[in-house]
């Protein structure tokens, strides 16, 4: 028999949802074990939807093979000890981190990056500071709340606690966090400021989207992109873009659709000359974040109304438009 004590980051979850994260237990066997009282809470019969509270103790009368996840903490600690965290921190408090992710850095593990990812460096940073102790966690690890493509730079939100992760994910879903981007585009838009509307559909095989002004094909999603020209140089323009909808490649595809592809973007423009000029990535940066919370107050209410940004001078492609 194993006992699992519920900590702060585990509380507030349903029993079945918690155990799917904490144990290597097939889902059918999980529900059968709860039903047959092989899994109890505080030595009493529990239901699938029993909400766990901090301090609760789960008794599991199961074979040892199902507890592999709980026994991985030693290996996790060793791995996090070996990483030398490299983070550009825009803001930090006890609940969240705001990070300036550089172009070329993956946010999560993929086929090309296993260790040198943003989330690995975040977890190593918090572990080495003593704020993250894998051995004390059954179902939570510091996590990123939003993603930015590998070849795009900008502000990424990391949650230090389960409550912060839950709140941030909900605020992002409700579009209560405003994100503004800087982009360098080819050509100078005729309208210095505009709100573009259209429809977007994604080709999964090509990982590419197409924009339509009207009569979109079935499955297309509406898009709204607001831009403002803030500087020009030669035949290029620096624009500030606000996404009023958030779709795959929306800024890149929408700006290209109106005849102004991003500098360095080979997917939606022709970037042979841009590459020759030293552009390894599309000139796009999520440079400003504004918290505009509505509704009932949360544990992160102190962030409401605050704005964070990366100075334009710190963004590699802005030097073309401003004297330093």
At 112-132, the pLDDT tens digits run 545 689 999 999 999 999 999
Spell out the residues 6+ positions from residue 186 whose beta carbon is closer than 8 angstroms to its own.
235, 236, 260, 261, 262, 263, 269
pTM over 0.75: yes
For residues 57-82, one letter each, b for 16 or more C-beta atoms within 10 angstroms of the residue's C-beta and e for the rest, the string is ebbbebeeebbeebeeeeebeebbee
Total residue count of the chain as it appears in this document: 324
Q: At what angle do helices 118-129 and 73-82 cross, to 10 degrees?
A: 100
User: Domain spans of the chain?
Assistant: 2-68, 73-173, 178-320
- Per the listing, tokens 């500098």 go with 263
Q: Given CA atoms 109, 121, 71, 29 in this order, what sign does their dihedral have?
A: negative
2-68 shares its CATH topology with 178-320: no
* 2-68 is classed CATH 3.30.9.10: no
Spell out the residues 6+ positions from residue 111 whose beta carbon is closer than 8 angstroms to its own.
none
Q: How crowded is the C-beta side of 126, counted as CA atoms within 13 Å?
A: 23
Q: Which CATH number fits domain 73-173: 3.40.50.620, 3.30.1360.120, 3.30.2350.10, 3.40.50.510?
A: 3.30.2350.10
* Angle, CA 105 vertex, CA 281 and CA 248 arms, to 5°: 65
The per-residue pLDDT for 114 is 55
Q: Which CATH number fits domain 178-320: 3.30.2020.30, 3.20.20.60, 3.40.50.2020, 3.30.2350.10?
A: 3.30.2350.10
Within the chain, which residues score under 50 in pLDDT?
113, 324
The 8 Å CB, 24+ separation contacts for 164-171 are 164/95, 164/96, 164/299, 164/300, 165/140, 166/12, 167/298, 167/299, 167/300, 168/96, 168/300, 169/145, 171/291, 171/293, 171/300
Dihedral angle, C-alpha 49, 50, 54, 56, nearest 10 °: -140
The per-residue pLDDT for 324 is 43
The per-residue pLDDT for 115 is 60
Conformational region of residue 174, where left means phi above 0, alpha means psi within -120 to 50, and beta covers everything else: alpha
CB 187 within 8 A of CB 235: yes
C-alpha to C-alpha distance for 94 and 132, rounded to whole angstroms:
11
Q: 296: buried, middle or exposed (CB in 10 Å: 19+, 13-18, 0-12)?
A: exposed
């Amino acid at each position: 028999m194993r006992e699992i004590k519920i900590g702060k980051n585990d509380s507030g979850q349903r029993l079945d949802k918690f155990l799917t994260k904490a144990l290597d237990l097939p889902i059918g066997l999980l529900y059968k074990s709860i039903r047959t009282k092989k899994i109890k809470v505080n030595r009493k019969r529990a239901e699938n939807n029993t909400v766990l509270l901090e301090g609760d103790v789960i008794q599991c009368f199961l074979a040892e093979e199902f507890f592999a996840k709980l026994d991985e903490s030693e290996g996790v600690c060793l791995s996090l000890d070996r990483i030398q965290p490299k983070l550009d921190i825009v803001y930090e408090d006890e609940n969240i981190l705001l990070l300036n992710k550089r172009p070329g850095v993956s946010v999560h593990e993929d086929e090309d990056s296993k260790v040198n990812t943003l989330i690995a460096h975040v977890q190593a940073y918090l572990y080495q500071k003593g704020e993250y102790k894998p051995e004390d966690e059954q179902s939570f690890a510091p996590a990123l709340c939003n993603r930015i493509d590998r070849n795009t730079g900008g502000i990424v939100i990391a949650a230090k606690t389960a409550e912060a992760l839950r709140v941030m994910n909900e605020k992002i879903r409700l579009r209560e966090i405003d994100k503004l981007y800087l982009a360098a585009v080819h050509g100078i838009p005729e309208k210095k400021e505009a709100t573009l509307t259209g429809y977007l559909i994604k080709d999964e095989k090509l990982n590419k989207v197409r924009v339509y002004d009207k009569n979109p094909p079935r499955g297309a999603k509406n898009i709204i992109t607001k831009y403002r020209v803030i500087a020009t140089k030669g035949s290029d323009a620096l624009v500030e873009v606000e996404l009023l909808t958030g779709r795959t490649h929306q800024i890149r595809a929408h700006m290209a659709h109106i005849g102004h592809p991003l500098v360095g973007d080979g997917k939606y423009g022709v970037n042979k000359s841009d590459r020759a000029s030293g552009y390894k990535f599309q000139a796009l940066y999520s440079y400003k974040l504004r918290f505009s919370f509505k509704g009932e107050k949360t544990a992160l209410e102190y962030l409401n109304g605050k704005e964070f940004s990366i100075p334009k001078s710190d963004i590699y492609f802005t030097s073309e438009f401003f004297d330093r």
